[in-house]
Chain A
């Protein structure tokens, strides 16, 4: 399988009150096309920083991040934004959406801005509806965002991340603000997307979430301490996957 993301000696340092804080220290890993990678680790270990650094949302201090053959460390802000718009999808913990737009408008906004897919506004809208149908939230398409539940909103965020047919989706604790039922539903959708070929990298604290991935990276103090590979996700074997992952995590000091 081809690597879509290759990270070499990635360092990220914040300077706060003249004090250096090395959040990421020489991180090396890669993600292959079609993988679903979870990043786990204790609070403050650098998980979200890693996600934001490799997705071009945050500048890196040193190292190389190669995304789909492009070194994003050498890109300026405009190029990075274009990369995020056309080739990446993002899902956040807090289901951020523009409150002045309806759910469907939030979903199709990146497509309308990008123009990557050569289509009319009507066709874009149709694609948006199709994604929503697929994720089972078509009934809230024209609602305002305050009129839908957290689970529905997070699925809408998944739709938005998918609208530009990205090469990879980055998700920062996508189920962190959801109850268990909604969390399971959202993860099922992500697993389905992955099964259809979308590469996903997510940050989570939840073993149940990580158990649906194909690989888990464990990070402590800005270093990847280890990785755990899982079989392709199979719902019927979820409990076994969770148990096995839990065991590994215990070994890692979780």
Chain B
């Protein structure tokens, strides 16, 4: 009997069962592959760092006395360290496959030594032949330069010029992501020597291995002029974006599981309501509740088993695809994490079965007499629709669609939940991506807004007058535009790495000064007021917290060999180096020979040009700086933090596609179930003269109205939810107060319209099924 009932059920509710199966497959696939992705990336990072022998601390200094002072400290405390020299090269002096190298952060030349470097096959790279060059994986992946095995890279530094053959990419744990802000080409020892000339800008990067808990204190007290200093625990944060992407996919998977459950609940409730009489008959002839529930659970067990198995099968290639991007950057663990896939998929299937068990509890409540007598759920009708056709001015189709919704709000709850979840799943990542791409984000990177940024970062050479060099560039741009009658502000952020001290508390932080036509008043501060004289500074939350400094406190900051006392007048925020930073007053006299680097040159047009004028001026800047790239502030930040925004962009498309698919399937499911449930009413309407068009219209409009309400609710919920979800991620990177860039047209109009269009189309196509219902079926529900 079981089999016969099951067979009948599978045949009658084919669409519903197929849709449920699709959701179980999707949920199992995504949860298995994203759990695999997350654990693999996380585990692989630990494994990679261990294999690469990543140091506990890492810093870079440019001058020999500083290096010597560290060597004394290391000897005194028995620190194990490795010093490797890096030659800074200007991207404009590098040609990749015949084209200028596009890179706006620090580019260096290195030889092997220190941490272990791995080739694309995860083999440790022990030797490089003369004339060969290796590129870090994230550079190799970038689309702006055409790196390929066998391709040519020409490097020119002073009088030295050499052509190299690209041997491939390497996995470099120290400079393997864009977030580090620095990368390197690996060449042979002899080739390195060629470029290691007197005039070369060389920095010593030191990898320190120690478990001394006081190391940082001792190191900071040295007061070295570092251009970079990273604590070992920060290395993993550099891969935050890769972990973030894995985490977003896991969230999508969890939402898919939730949606599967909501659908399961809907289908079970629908089936039980529809088969109320049959259940009553089974009870009347003496079948126990457990047996009757078993009948339903067996079906869902079957769907869960098939769905889990198929989902698991699909999850393997998807897992490989997901980690393919990451596996180019890091050395993966030797064993595959397929057990994770199996466990996660089984968990998804088990949840479906468990949930179906809970949902069938309703069967216990039915009395056989109720069922046999009424043939329906036995519930008395509650007061129906709150709107009246006679008093409404709406045409019949929208009226009936609205009235159906108001009369049975409960039956739309599942749909509303799914659509709201879908809306949130689209809007929150879109808001995040738009914020990450917004021009305003530049204010979180110790910069202020401008119209254009020229990727002409400075290479500070102790043998030159760096300040004069900067000012010459500013004059050049100002004069260039003045000749064309355009008044511009030109400025640039110069970075130092300084010791910042308050009493006994000491930290090492990036410090910034805006050079040129910019004042401290033009930056954003969270508390206090902008520094107004050379004795005042603003600190980021992180830096202030590290030395317990507050507004009004005096702090000592050492730049180069000069230590001065400054009063803290403001607290600010920064995403540079996970939140550290100090801002000097613009006229403060700092020794530029100790500068660690700079950002691009910013240009602000005083006449507030419109879009087309901006495009023309960009072209002018391109003429003036043919070797550089001209960015908007948003593009510049995107460029600095790597192609994260691009990755998130493709994820946005993926999520939108998934949500559209889900909405379409849900619409099909709902319309099919409504048609089944309302067969006699549809036949009645046909009998009294309704044609198919208005009837399809009612079905489509109902779904459309529910989607519209859900999208509005989802959008409203997303407003407080976006910061709740996204702020912690920004906080990890040092930004505590974010102004989200919500593109109203995209988020509130375009995306909802796309969702509405696709879902309504699915509902409309599905509603065509009612054409098969004839008016004469009015008295025959089963025919």
A contact set with B: CB distance below 8 Å: 52, 57-58, 77-78, 81-86, 88, 90, 92-94, 96-102, 104-105, 108-110, 112-114, 121-122, 124-125, 128, 142, 144, 146, 160, 164
Contacts and interface: CB of A to CB of B under 8 A. Distances in A.
B63 interface: no
The binding surface of chain B is classed by DSSP as: helix
Given A99-B384, A102-B388, A146-B380, A93 B779 contact: yes
Nearest to B390: A125
Interface stretch (B71-79, B705-713, B770-778): B770-778
Contacts of A52: 775-776
A122 B392 CA distance: 9
Residue from A83, A100, A104, A108 with most neighbouring chain B CB atoms (10 Å): A100
Contacts of B493: none
A83 B400 CA distance: 22
A114 B782 CA distance: 29
Given A81-B691, A101-B389, 11 more contacts: A57-B775, A78-B693, A82-B689, A83-B689, A85-B689, A97-B684, A100-B407, A101-B384, A112-B399, A113-B690, A121-B390
B384 A90 contact: no
A98 B687 contact: no
With a 10 A CB-CB cut-off, give which of B686, B692, B694 has the most chain A CB atoms.
B686
B574 interface: no
Contact of B691 (A82, A112, A146, A164): A82
A113 B774 CA distance: 19
Nearest to A58: B776
B758 to A, nearest CB: 28
A96 B389 contact: no
A199 B602 CA distance: 88
B389 to A, nearest CB: 4
B238 to A, nearest CB: 59
Given A81-B689, A100-B407, A113-B694, A92 B388 contact: no
Given A57-B774, A96-B680, A121-B393, A102 B384 contact: yes
6 contacts: A57-B774, A84-B688, A85-B690, A92-B779, A100-B400, A100-B407
Interface in B727-783: 774-776, 778-779
A96 B396 contact: no
A142 B384 CA distance: 11
Nearest to B691: A81
Interface residues of B, number: 37
A144 B389 contact: no
B388 A105 contact: yes
| Nearest 9 interchain pairs by C-beta | A85-B689, A125-B390, A100-B407, A105-B389, A84-B689, A146-B381, A81-B691, A57-B775, A58-B776
Nearest to B407: A100
Contact of A110 (B393, B688, B775): B688
Contacts of A114: 689
Nearest to A49: B776
B172 interface: no
Contacts of B399: 112
Q: Which of A96, A142, A164 has its CB near the most chain B CB atoms (within 10 A)? A: A96
Contacts of A112: 389, 395-396, 399
Contacts of B381: 99, 144, 146
Interface of B: 380-381, 383-385, 388-393, 395-396, 399-400, 403-404, 407-408, 680-681, 684-694, 774-776, 778-779
Contacts of A84: 687-689, 775
B336 to A, nearest CB: 55
Given A92-B778, A121-B392, A101 B385 contact: yes
Nearest to A172: B779
A226 B149 CA distance: 97
Contacts of B384: 99-102, 144
Nearest to A113: B396
A16 to B, nearest CB: 11
Nearest to B389: A105
Contacts of B686: 57, 81
A97 B681 CA distance: 8
A109 B687 CA distance: 13
A10 to B, nearest CB: 15
A128 B385 contact: no
Q: Which of B685, B691, B774 has the most CB of A within 10 A?
A: B691
A240 to B, nearest CB: 34
Contacts of B400: 100
Contacts of B690: 81, 85, 113
A77 B404 contact: no
Nearest to B694: A113
Contacts of A78: 691-693
A102 B385 contact: yes
A90 B685 CA distance: 11
Nearest to A120: B393
B685 to A, nearest CB: 8
A49 to B, nearest CB: 8
B390 to A, nearest CB: 4
B778 A96 contact: yes
B779 A109 contact: no
Contact of B684 (A96, A100, A108, A128): A96
A144 B396 contact: no
Contact of A94 (B385, B395, B688, B779): B779
